[in-house]
Structures are given as C-alpha cells and as structure tokens.
A and B are shown apart, each in its own frame.
Chain A
Amino acid sequence: GAGVSQSPSNKVTEKGKDVELRCDPISGHTALYWYRQRLGQGLEFLIYFQGNSAPDKSGLPSDRFSAERTGESVSTLTIQRTQQEDSAVYLCASKKVPTSTDTQYFGPGTRLTVL
C-alpha cells in the first residue's frame, strides 16, 4: 500500500467498554510499532512486533492492553474496560527491517475518546 493506514480514525466509547484499533502497515514492512500520544505529551511507546511476534511489550500500561499481529500484516490493539485516562491518539508505525537504517513510517492515528 501507499502508506500506513489505521482505522477507525476516531472512536468515542463509554468507560468500561472494550475497543479494538486496527493498523495496516506498508506492504513488506516486517516491523510494526504502536505508540500513543496523550494531550500535551510526546509519543509513548506501547509495543513492537517483528513479524507476528512481540519481542518488546514493555510499554503496555496495564493488562487491559493487548495486541496481535497476523504474519507481517495487519495488527490490532485491544483495550479492555476502557478508562478515561486511555483517551489519546493511538499511532501505528511500520519499518522495513528493524536493524536497518530505514525509518519508521507513521499512520494517521486513531483518536480515542473515553467518556
């Protein structure tokens, strides 16, 4: 594809509901990253995939957060029992090879609002 795509672009949910965010990386990119950006903050790393394995999950803030990736394709980030502090823009990025001098290409993000 032309770039990283994410869906939905906006999501409004009620506290306590589960949400699922989707990321489609650039075709052929083996590495995939999730970040979130809360208002007034920098991007905060959540999880990294190499293929469909996740060697670095250290940024997931709690066990309510989980993510999966199908092969070297789409990834979903699931937040269970959402809380108001989960409100943020969730960004996905992909990279061709994690050890190369290639760069991370970002998607447009999903703006999550928890009421």
Chain B
Amino acid sequence: AQSVSQHNHHVILSEAASLELGCNYSYGGTVNLFWYVQYPGQHLQLLLKYFSGDPLVKGIKGFEAEFIKSKFSFNLRKPSVQWSDTAEYFCAFDRGSTLGRLYFGRGTQLTVWP
C-alpha cells in the first residue's frame, strides 16, 4: 500500500539553525511530490512541489527539497530557520495519475525558539 513516512514527529531548533526534515514514500511508479505547511491558526498551504526535471526544487521562504528516486526520499531543507517557520510540515505524494489524490505523512511539528 502507498504510504509516506516522516521520520521526525517534533523538531525543536533555535533560530539560525539548519533544518532537514526527512520524508520517504512507498510507491514504485511515477510520483509527484509535495511539502505542505500549516502555520498556527492557518490552513494548509503548499510550500513546494516536484513534478519532473531538476530533482532539487525551491519553494517559498527559502525552503528547498531534493528528490532522490533511488531512496524514495524527498527531504525538506532550510539553511537557517526563523521563529516564523514554526509550523507543522506535511510531506505528500500523488501517483501522477488522473485521480490526483494525495497520500500524506503524519506531519512534523517544527518549533523554532528565538
């Protein structure tokens, strides 16, 4: 069955620290990959996405993610986090099919201390 594994449930960092959130998916076919973010009190919004081409994708607010097909991974990175990055982060994929339903991980809560 298709699934997404996010390795960290809760990450706590100080401002300016580097961030890497792990994400692995299980599906053998073509995928589109996403990171969504939910800031406190706000709804889920897209951070970045990968459909094809350069496996290193850049998103909003200085985030980037790298698709490593051989590892079925799509880890999220940011070189220097800010207090405003405090949020819950969700990794997701779809199967690139016409249906487009998303498979989500359980989310990682990131807390950044000023």
Binding site for B on A (CB under 8 A): 31, 33, 35, 40-45, 48, 55-56, 59, 91, 93, 95, 98-99, 101, 103-109
Contact = CB atoms under 8 A, between A and B. Distances in A.
Interface residue range, chain B: 20 to 34
Given A45-B101, A91-B44, A103 B107 contact: no
A103 B105 contact: no
Interface string B10-21: 000000000000
A25 to B, nearest CB: 14
A98 B98 contact: yes
Contact of A42 (B34, B100, B107): B107
Interface in B41-58: 42-46, 49, 51
Contacts of B39: none
A101 B32 CA distance: 9
A106 B101 contact: no
Which 9 interchain pairs have the tightest Cβ spacing? A42-B104, A43-B104, A106-B44, A42-B106, A108-B43, A98-B100, A45-B101, A101-B51, A99-B98
